[in-house]
Amino acid sequence: MGQNGLDMEIQYLPGVGPKRAELFRKELSITTVGDLLRLYPFRYIDKSSITRICDARPDMAYLQIRAKVVKAELIGRIPDKDPSDPAKDKALKFNTIKRMSVWVSDGSGDMEMVFFKGIKWMYEKLRPGQEFIFFGKPAGFNGRINMVHPEVDPAQNVSKENTPAAPGTMTGVYTSTERLKNGGVTGKVMSRIIEAALDKGLPCIEESLPEYIMKQCGLVPVHFALRNIHFPKDMISLEKAKYRLKFEELFYLQLSLLKQKYIRSRAEHGISMPRVGDAFNRCYEALPFPLTGAQKRVITEIRNDMKSGHQMNRLLQGDVGSGKTMVAVLTALIAIGNGFQACIMAPTEVLAQQHYRNILRFLEPTGIKAALLTGSSKASERREVHSGLEDGSIGIIVGTHALIEDNVVFRNLGLAIIDEQHRFGVEQRSKLWRKSSCGLPPHVLVMTATPIPRTLAMTLYGDLDVSVIDELPPGRKPVQTIHATEGKRPALYKFMRDQIAAGRQVFIVYPLINETEKLDYQSLEAGAEEIMQKFPFPDYKTAVVHGKQLNDVKKFNMDAFAAGRADILVATSVIEVGVDVPNASVMVIESAERFGLSQLHQLRGRVGRGSEKSYCVLMTGNRMSKESKHRIELMCATENGFELAEEDMKMRGPGDLEGTQQSGLPISLNIASLAKDGMILNAARDCASAVLDKDPALSSDRNQLLRKELRKEKYQIKDYSKIS
C-alpha cells in the first residue's frame, strides 16, 4: 500500500469529516494521517485507579470517581410548571439554562459535577439512581470540591475491582485549542481518531533505521514505538517508545549536519596559512597581561585549522568580557602574516566602533593598518577605505553590513570574523564569503557572547567546530549580585550616591517586553522622573535612552554616558550587546522578574569591565512566581553564563533563548527536546559520527535506509555551512 495510507486526508477517518478536518488544519496544521501519527501526547493520565470522594483533594491532577447520581439541577430561566397540564414541563428551553449541577455520591461522600455545555444531552443521560464513572480535574469552590465538565462513562464498562476493563490504563493528553474543543474534539474523541489513524497508517510505515543501528543502540521497532507512544501498554513500553522516537529525530538531525561537515573537511580546498608572522609575535609580546589558558587553547585550535589546508569554520563562544576580541585580533594577524587581509563584521555601528577602538590598541606595536566602514562613514572616508582594501594597504577592516556592499573589493581576503552571528541573515554572510579573490573560501570564525548550552550549540552549529573560552582574564573582578525589593529603595539610592561620589557611573534598566507596550514606557518615564528628582541637576547628570527616540538623540545620550559626561543612564533593554563603559560599576535592573536568565546575564555583563568592584542590583516586586524566584536566586548564586544558559533552557525550552530561536534548527523536533534530552542527543551524535567515520558518503548497502531518509525535503538544508 506504500505511502497512500499516510497521505490520506484526515477528513476520511471515522469521527472527523470535512468540518473537523478544517479545524485540525487551522489549529494544529494537521492534514494527513501521517501528520496525525506524529502528533504525540504531551502527558499521560493514569486511569487505572478509582478515588473515593472522601479522599479527593483540589490539588490532585486528575481523578476518577465511581458514583451514583443523587440529583440534577438546572440553573437559569426555567418556566413555571403548570399543575393542571404536566406536559407543559416540556417547554423547557435549554438555551436559557446557564449551567447544570449534578450531585453524586459513592457512600464515602458526595461531590458536585458542573456542566456549562451539552446540558440537554447530559440532563437526559445523568438520571438519578444510575451509576457512572466520572473522570476530570478536581477544583475547590466555596470550601467544597467539584469537577467541571468531567468525562462521563457508564459504570458497566468498569469491573468491580476498580480497574477499567479496557486494555492499557494510561491515556494520552494531546495539544488542543478552544476551537477544537468547541468543535467536539474532546480528549476521548481525539483518542478514537488517533486509534483510527493508527489502523490506517501503521501498515504503511516502513522502518527508517537500519537493523544494525537498532541493535547497537537498543531501539524498539517503529511500529511498536508509534503504537505505544499513543496507547502505552505499560510504563516500560512507553519509555522504550519515547526513547526510540527521540533518538531517531536527534540522530537524523545530527547525521544531516555532520555529513555536511565531513564533506567539507574532506574537500581539499582551503587557504593554507602555515606561518604565524612578525605582526602576530610583536602583538603577542606587547600584550598588557598574559593570555588565559582558555585563550591559548582556542588560539591553538584556530591555528591548526588555518594551516590544515581546509577551510576553517569555527564558532567561538565566550562569556561577556572573556577576551574574545583579543583572540580575534591574533587570528587576524595570522592571516596577515600569510599575506592575506581580514575583516571583522559586527551587527551594529556601536559594536563596530567599539571593536575598532579596541583593535587599534592591540595593533599599535605591529604597524598593521586597520580601518572602519559603517553606514554612516562619509563618502571621502569610503573612497579611501575602498582603495586601501583593493591595493592591500589595509590589513584589517572592521565594519557592519556596509562590508558586503558590491563596491567593497578586497585584494586578498583570507579570513572573515563574524560577531554575534545570529543577527546576520544567511544571504548576507554568503555575500561576504564570495569576496575572496583567490578562488578559495576565506576562513570563518563566528563569535558569540550569548552562552549557548552545549546541546543547543551541537545542534544549531552542528556543522561548525566549537571553541569555548570558559575562563575570565586576570583583573576581571566578579560582579556582586544583590536582590532587593521596593522597601530597600532608599538604601539603593544612598549606595548609588556613594558610588557616584567615588567617580563611578550607574546603569538603570527598565523592561520593555513589547515595543508597543504603553505601560512599559510609562514606568520608564516615571522612573526617570524619580531619578532626576532624587539626583538633581547640576550635581548629578542623567541620560535617558529608549527605542522611541530618534537615532541621533539616542546616540547623543549613549555617547554622553560612555564618555563620562552623565553619571546615570536610564534605559530600556535596548542597551547594545557589548556596549563598553569601563567606569560603570552599578547595574540596577528594575522589575527583574520580567527578564529571562540569558537577558539578565547579558545586562549584568555591562558592568565589571573596569578594575573596580562592580554590583548588579535586581529590583523586584514582593510577590513573585516560583519560576521568577528561582531565576533571581540563580543570578545571585552564579556568574557562569553557561550554567545559567543550561538552566534557562530547562526552564523555558530552547525556543526562547535569546538569539537561538528554534526556527534556527535545521529540522523541527516533534518529540525530542534539546533542553531535556541531552543524553539522548549525545548518544545520537556519537552514533551518527561512527556511521560517517566508516562510510562518509553513506554509499554502502547497509546504509541505504539512511541515504533514503536524508533525501527527504526536511533534511535539504541549504549548505551555507561554509559561511556561517
Chosen domain end from 614, 638, 662: 638
* 293, 347: one domain: yes
Are the beta carbons of 412 and 421 closer than 8 angstroms? Answer: no
CATH of the domain at 35: 1.10.150
Confidence (pLDDT) at 594: 85
Structural Rg of the chain based on CA atoms: 32
Are the beta carbons of 231 and 172 closer than 8 angstroms? Answer: yes
* 538, 562: one domain: yes
Categorize the per-residue pLDDT at 242 as very low, low, confident or very high, splitting at 50, 70 and 90. very high
- Number of domains comprising the chain: 4
Categorize the per-residue pLDDT at 185 as very low, low, confident or very high, splitting at 50, 70 and 90. confident
Categorize the per-residue pLDDT at 499 as very low, low, confident or very high, splitting at 50, 70 and 90. very high
* 141, 185: one domain: no
* 485, 400: one domain: no
Collapsing DSSP states into helix, strand and coil, what is residue 480?
strand
Q: Is the per-residue pLDDT at 170 higher than 50?
A: yes
Q: Is the per-residue pLDDT at 365 higher than 60?
A: yes
Q: Is residue 678 part of a domain?
A: no
- Would you state the cell numbers that stand for residue 171, as one nine-digit string? 491515556
CA distance 697 to 259: 8
Q: Is residue 586 part of a domain?
A: yes
Q: Is residue 704 part of a domain?
A: no
Tell me the per-residue pLDDT of 606-618, one tens digit each, with 9 for 90 and over.
Answer: 887 777 789 999 9
The single-letter DSSP state of residue 70 is E
Collapsing DSSP states into helix, strand and coil, what is residue 619?
strand
Q: Is the per-residue pLDDT at 298 higher than 50?
A: yes
Kind plus residue range of the DSSP H or E element containing 75: strand 63-76
CA distance 696 to 715: 17
* 335, 454: one domain: yes
Tell me the average pLDDT across 37-45: 88
Q: Which residues of 159-191 are buried (b: 16+ CB within 10 A; e: fewer)?
A: eeeeebeeebbbbbebeeeeebeebebebebbb
Tell me the average pLDDT across 645-654: 69
The pTM score is: 0.63
Are the beta carbons of 405 and 428 closer than 8 angstroms? Answer: no
Confidence (pLDDT) at 501: 93
Confidence (pLDDT) at 616: 94
Q: Which of 61-75, 218-232, 577-591, 622-636 has the least mean pLDDT?
A: 577-591
Looking at per-residue pLDDT, the higher value among 335 and 430 belongs to 335
Select the highest-mean-pLDDT range: 96-100, 203-207, 241-245, 411-415: 241-245
* 340, 457: one domain: yes
What sign results for the dihedral spanned by CA atoms 662, 251, 430, 394? Answer: positive
* 433, 463: one domain: yes
β-strand partners of 46: 170
* 31, 177: one domain: yes
CA distance 292 to 295: 5
Confidence (pLDDT) at 368: 94
Tell me the per-residue pLDDT of 317-334, one tens digit each, with 9 for 90 and over.
Answer: 887 777 888 999 999 999
Residues of the domain holding 597: 479-638
Amino acid residing at 617: V
Report the percentage of the chain scoring pLDDT > 70.
85
Count of residues making up the chain: 724
Instruction: For the beta carbon of residue 637, count every other beta carbon within 10 angstroms.
Output: 11
Looking at per-residue pLDDT, the higher value among 269 and 25 belongs to 25
* 65, 125: one domain: yes
Q: Which of 297-301, 399-403, 586-590 has the least mean pLDDT?
A: 399-403
CATH of the domain at 73: 2.40.50.140
Confidence (pLDDT) at 300: 95
Q: Is residue 264 part of a domain?
A: no
Hey, what's the torsion of the CAs at 548, 551, 553, 556, to 10 degrees?
Answer: 140
The DSSP result for 294-310, as a single string, is HHHHHHHHHHHHHHSSS
Tell me the per-residue pLDDT of 559-588, one tens digit each, with 9 for 90 and over.
Answer: 888 888 999 999 887 565 456 787 889 999
* 444, 508: one domain: no
Calculate the average pLDDT of the chain. 83
Q: Which of 126-140, 404-418, 443-457, 504-518 has the least mean pLDDT?
A: 504-518
Instruction: For the beta carbon of residue 521, count every other beta carbon within 10 angstroms.
Output: 17
CA distance 369 to 360: 9
Are the beta carbons of 693 and 699 closer than 8 angstroms? Answer: no
CATH of the domain at 453: 3.40.50.300
Are the beta carbons of 204 and 232 closer than 8 angstroms? Answer: no
Categorize the per-residue pLDDT at 598 as very low, low, confident or very high, splitting at 50, 70 and 90. confident
Confidence (pLDDT) at 25: 92
Give whole-number Cα distances, 357 to 293, 354, 370, 382, 493, in Å: 25, 5, 10, 18, 33
Confidence (pLDDT) at 266: 66
Categorize the per-residue pLDDT at 654 as very low, low, confident or very high, splitting at 50, 70 and 90. low
Categorize the per-residue pLDDT at 257 as very low, low, confident or very high, splitting at 50, 70 and 90. confident
143 dihedral zone (left: phi>0; alpha: psi -120 to 50; beta)? left
Q: Helices (H) and strands (E) in the chain — how many of each?
A: 24, 22
Confidence (pLDDT) at 103: 94
Phi and psi at 600, nearest 5°, equal -60, -45
Are the beta carbons of 351 and 576 closer than 8 angstroms? Answer: yes
CA distance 442 to 661: 27
| Strands (E) located in 563-630 | 568-572, 584-589, 614-620
* 154, 178: one domain: no
* 133, 30: one domain: no
Are the beta carbons of 38 and 197 closer than 8 angstroms? Answer: no
CA distance 590 to 603: 12
Instruction: For the beta carbon of residue 236, count every other beta carbon within 10 angstroms.
Output: 10
CA distance 244 to 251: 10
- Nearest CA to 152 out of 75, 31, 65, 233 is that of 65
CA distance 470 to 714: 35
